[in-house]
Protein backbone atom coordinates (compact mmCIF):
# COMPACT_ATOMS: atom_id res chain seq x y z
CA UNK A 1 0.00 0.00 0.00
CA UNK A 2 1.33 3.38 -0.95
CA UNK A 3 -0.57 5.48 1.58
CA UNK A 4 2.18 6.56 3.95
CA UNK A 5 3.65 9.46 1.97
CA UNK A 6 1.39 12.13 3.39
CA UNK A 7 1.78 10.94 6.96
CA UNK A 8 5.49 11.69 6.71
CA UNK A 9 4.84 15.33 5.89
CA UNK A 10 3.17 16.07 9.20
CA UNK A 11 4.96 14.89 12.35
CA UNK A 12 3.14 12.94 15.08
CA UNK A 13 3.29 16.08 17.19
CA UNK A 14 2.26 18.93 14.91
CA UNK A 15 2.83 22.29 16.53
CA UNK A 16 2.55 25.95 15.72
CA UNK A 17 3.22 29.17 17.62
CA UNK A 18 0.86 32.12 17.76
CA UNK A 19 2.28 35.56 17.12
CA UNK A 20 -0.74 37.59 18.22
CA UNK A 21 -0.63 39.34 21.62
CA UNK A 22 -2.09 37.30 24.45
CA UNK A 23 -1.23 34.43 26.72
CA UNK A 24 -2.00 31.53 24.40
CA UNK A 25 1.25 30.89 22.59
CA UNK A 26 1.76 27.34 21.33
CA UNK A 27 -0.68 24.77 19.99
CA UNK A 28 0.23 21.11 19.66
CA UNK A 29 -1.83 18.36 18.04
CA UNK A 30 -0.86 14.86 19.15
CA UNK A 31 -1.74 13.00 15.97
CA UNK A 32 -1.04 9.67 17.63
CA UNK A 33 -4.10 10.31 19.81
CA UNK A 34 -6.35 11.91 17.20
CA UNK A 35 -9.35 9.76 16.28
CA UNK A 36 -10.60 12.07 13.56
CA UNK A 37 -13.60 13.31 15.50
CA UNK A 38 -13.33 16.67 13.73
CA UNK A 39 -14.69 18.72 16.60
CA UNK A 40 -11.55 20.88 16.69
CA UNK A 41 -12.10 21.64 12.99
CA UNK A 42 -15.77 22.41 13.58
CA UNK A 43 -14.95 24.89 16.34
CA UNK A 44 -11.84 26.51 14.85
CA UNK A 45 -11.54 25.69 11.14
CA UNK A 46 -8.92 28.36 10.56
CA UNK A 47 -6.57 26.68 13.00
CA UNK A 48 -7.33 22.97 12.52
CA UNK A 49 -7.98 20.98 9.39
CA UNK A 50 -8.15 17.28 8.58
CA UNK A 51 -5.61 15.61 6.33
CA UNK A 52 -6.36 12.74 3.98
CA UNK A 53 -5.67 10.29 6.79
CA UNK A 54 -8.49 11.84 8.81
CA UNK A 55 -6.02 13.25 11.32
CA UNK A 56 -6.02 16.87 12.43
CA UNK A 57 -3.16 19.20 11.55
CA UNK A 58 -2.50 22.86 12.26
CA UNK A 59 -3.05 25.55 9.67
CA UNK A 60 -2.91 29.12 10.99
CA UNK A 61 -2.72 29.55 14.79
CA UNK A 62 -3.45 33.27 14.46
CA UNK A 63 -6.68 32.85 12.54
CA UNK A 64 -8.98 32.44 15.56
CA UNK A 65 -9.14 34.14 18.95
CA UNK A 66 -7.83 32.52 22.13
CA UNK A 67 -11.25 31.57 23.46
CA UNK A 68 -12.12 29.79 20.24
CA UNK A 69 -8.86 27.86 20.27
CA UNK A 70 -9.41 26.85 23.89
CA UNK A 71 -12.94 25.72 23.03
CA UNK A 72 -11.55 23.67 20.16
CA UNK A 73 -9.02 22.01 22.48
CA UNK A 74 -11.73 21.32 25.06
CA UNK A 75 -13.96 19.83 22.39
CA UNK A 76 -11.45 17.11 21.55
CA UNK A 77 -12.74 13.84 23.01
CA UNK A 78 -9.25 12.36 23.38
CA UNK A 79 -7.41 15.51 24.57
CA UNK A 80 -5.16 15.46 21.53
CA UNK A 81 -4.93 19.27 21.42
CA UNK A 82 -2.44 20.67 23.93
CA UNK A 83 -2.12 24.38 24.64
CA UNK A 84 0.85 26.24 26.15
CA UNK A 85 1.01 29.80 27.39
CA UNK A 86 3.65 32.44 26.74
CA UNK A 87 5.71 31.13 29.69
CA UNK A 88 5.86 27.66 28.17
CA UNK A 89 3.42 26.32 30.74
CA UNK A 90 0.83 23.80 29.62
CA UNK A 91 -2.59 25.36 30.18
CA UNK A 92 -4.72 22.65 28.56
CA UNK A 93 -5.31 19.86 29.43
CA UNK A 94 -4.85 21.09 33.01
Per-residue binding letters, 47-66, with ligand SF4 (x by CB under 6 A) = -x-------x----------
Report H helices in the chain.
Answer: 5-9, 39-43, 66-75
Q: Return the residue of 38, 63, 71, 85 that touches ligand SF4, per CB under 6 A.
A: 38
Q: What are the φ and ψ backbone dihedral angles of 63, each rounded to 5 degrees?
A: -85, -10
Indicate the pairing of strand 48-50 with strand 24-30: unpaired
Q: Please work out the total of residues on this chain that contact ligand SF4, with binding judged by CB under 6 A.
A: 15
Could you list the residues that contact ligand SF4 (CB under 6 A)?
29, 34-40, 48, 56, 75-76, 78, 80-81
Amino acid sequence: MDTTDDSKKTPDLDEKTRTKPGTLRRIVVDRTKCIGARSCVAVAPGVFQMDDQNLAYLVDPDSEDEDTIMLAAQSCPVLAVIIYDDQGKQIFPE
